[in-house]
Amino acid sequence: MYLCSRKMSGNNNKAGSRSSKFVKDIGIYAIGNIGSKIITFLMVPMYTHYIDKSDFGYYDLCFTWCLLLMPFVTLQLRDGAFRFLLDCDDDTRRQRIVTFVSRTMVATTVLSLIITAALAMFTNIQYLGYALGMLLAMSFQEVYSQVFRGLGNNRAFATVGILSALGIGLFSIFFVVGMGWGIKGIFLANILARVLALILVEARVRLITRNTRWSIDSREVAHDILRYSLPLLPGSLCWWLTGSSDRLFITHFLGLDVNGVYAVATRFTGIIYTLAIIFYQAWQETAILQYNSPDRDRFFSKMFNSYIMLLGLILVGYVFMLKVNYGWLVAAQYSESLNYIYPLALSAVIFAAAAFFDMGYQCAKDTKRTLPAIVLSAAVNVVLNFLLIKPLGVYGVIITQLVTYLVLFIYRWHDMRRYFILKIAKLTAVPVAVMLISAIPFYSNIPWWADIAFMLAALACIAGSCYKDIRELILSKITKTRSVTK
């Protein structure tokens, strides 16, 4: 695959080094994200066997609220810090940026504690303190992980993800299975694992402590970062309405039990989001650094077409393997969640494709233009949820999500033309068609071997539509791996 580097050149050796860097970045992000998601994936069967549907539904609801509040606790500094650290070559400016991030996180933490104390005095919200602890732990992990990335230490970023997920797994086994603490155990596992992972990595790399100078004047960078980050706040609220408010609608109209079943399905389809994030994170760095490349449009076009083919391979392979093994993965009381897997996975693919266009706003530092599409999508989401959830139940929520992400994709497809022009290859229609047609055998009551046979045929069809150089690259990697093994 042809990739661009920080300085454009027609030299083949430089092109090769650019490809190597991108592949290396994907490898690092894959280790951090896939490793953490596999551990999370393995926790789902345990949760379904040891936690009641209503309790798991309540935990999922708390987690959803944490996702809503996290951007306000962090002021979207996870995006601002990474963006400004990435192209910063001055040590003093780096220190100003990291110091500003640390000061802001301390201030918002204190404010969060005050607000929570006030809520505790006038309300009786179950597990409020645990939810606050998880919110703060998630916030610090998100922000400082992105600081590690911005400072060029992708390995530290990946390690935080792996250690936190491993910690969540181990602590969950201890608290939920061993101690029998139920959802309180999940809260504690999330809090302790995330905090310890961040402390252990920082003790090793000392990037935060070396670059934080409490006496330094950071007002100059504060203005620039906030001008970039604050416009993302209203967008984050709309993102939450678009992607997470479905839990509130399900809980309100259908109950915690149904939300618990739905939450299991979203945990499984979360794997697709994770795989998309791996690509996004590696692509984010490359796109920002190479936005002004002379062959940008050709480069971005090839990346997008390849990305759609990759998403097709992931969706078809994953959902059919999940269908074949679902019987032993979850407890019987959660088995209905299998029916939600395919449309939720398709929603994840549409969202991932729409997220590709987000690079235009980030590359141009034009984040305020992200808002119209997100507001429109959020409005569509809320209206359709109200209209469809009563007559269609969970399927009304799923249809809403599909339509919402499709609206987002179409809007950004047109809006991104101000930043770059994509040329869609004819063969890209193949994975799109295969993903749509695959829903038929997925919902058909056919033997497991027939599911496997269709999956293999579909994967071969998508792989055959890939660019020739991509197929050759994959084959060369396989050949190299075999030779090393021998």
Q: Which amino acid is at 140?
A: F
Quote the CA–CA distance of 91 and 207 in Å, as a whole number. Answer: 12
Quote the CA–CA distance of 38 and 40 in Å, as a whole number. Answer: 5
Minimal CA–CA distance to 19: which of 225, 356, 11? 11
Taking the CB of residue 203, how many other CB atoms lie within 10 A of it? 9
Q: Is residue 414 part of a domain?
A: yes
DSSP summary character for residue 178: I
Q: Is residue 259 part of a domain?
A: yes
Q: Is residue 361 part of a domain?
A: yes
pLDDT at 427 over 80: yes
Where helices occur in 176-255 by DSSP H, the ranges are 183-205, 207-211, 219-229, 232-243, 246-254
- Find out whether 405 and 350 touch, Cβ atoms under 8 Å: yes
pLDDT at position 1 is 33
* Domain range for 383: 233-486
Quote the CA–CA distance of 139 and 75 in Å, as a whole number. Answer: 10
Q: Is residue 61 part of a domain?
A: no
Minimal CA–CA distance to 182: which of 66, 46, 64? 46
Residues in the chain: 486
- Find out whether 52 and 180 touch, Cβ atoms under 8 Å: no
Structure tokens that stand for 264 in this block: 């299991």
Q: Is residue 428 part of a domain?
A: yes
Q: What angle do CA 300, 26, 88 make, to 5 degrees?
A: 75
User: What is this structure's pTM?
Assistant: 0.68
pLDDT, tens digit, 9 for 90 and up, residues 148-162 = 988 888 889 888 988
Structure tokens that stand for 367 in this block: 């984040």
Q: Is residue 461 part of a domain?
A: yes
Quote the CA–CA distance of 337 and 413 in Å, as a whole number. Answer: 32
pLDDT, tens digit, 9 for 90 and up, residues 272-322 = 887 777 777 777 777 777 777 777 788 888 888 888 988 999 999 999 999
On average, the pLDDT of the chain sits at 82
Q: Is residue 246 part of a domain?
A: yes
pLDDT at position 475 is 53
pLDDT at position 19 is 46
Q: Is residue 245 part of a domain?
A: yes
Domain count, the chain: 1
Q: What residues contact 198, with CB distance under 8 A and at least 6 apart?
A: 140, 141, 144, 145, 160, 164
DSSP string for 43-112: HHHHHHHHS-HHHHHHHHHHHHHHHHHHHHHHTTHHHHHHHHHHT---HHHHHHHHHHHHHHHHHHHHHH
pLDDT at 45 over 70: yes
pLDDT at position 4 is 35
pLDDT, tens digit, 9 for 90 and up, residues 135-187 = 999 999 999 998 998 888 888 988 898 898 889 889 989 998 888 888 899 99
pLDDT, tens digit, 9 for 90 and up, residues 230-275 = 877 876 777 677 767 788 788 888 888 888 888 888 888 888 887 7
Q: What angle do CA 380, 386, 389 make, to 5 degrees?
A: 110
Structure tokens that stand for 175 in this block: 């608290």
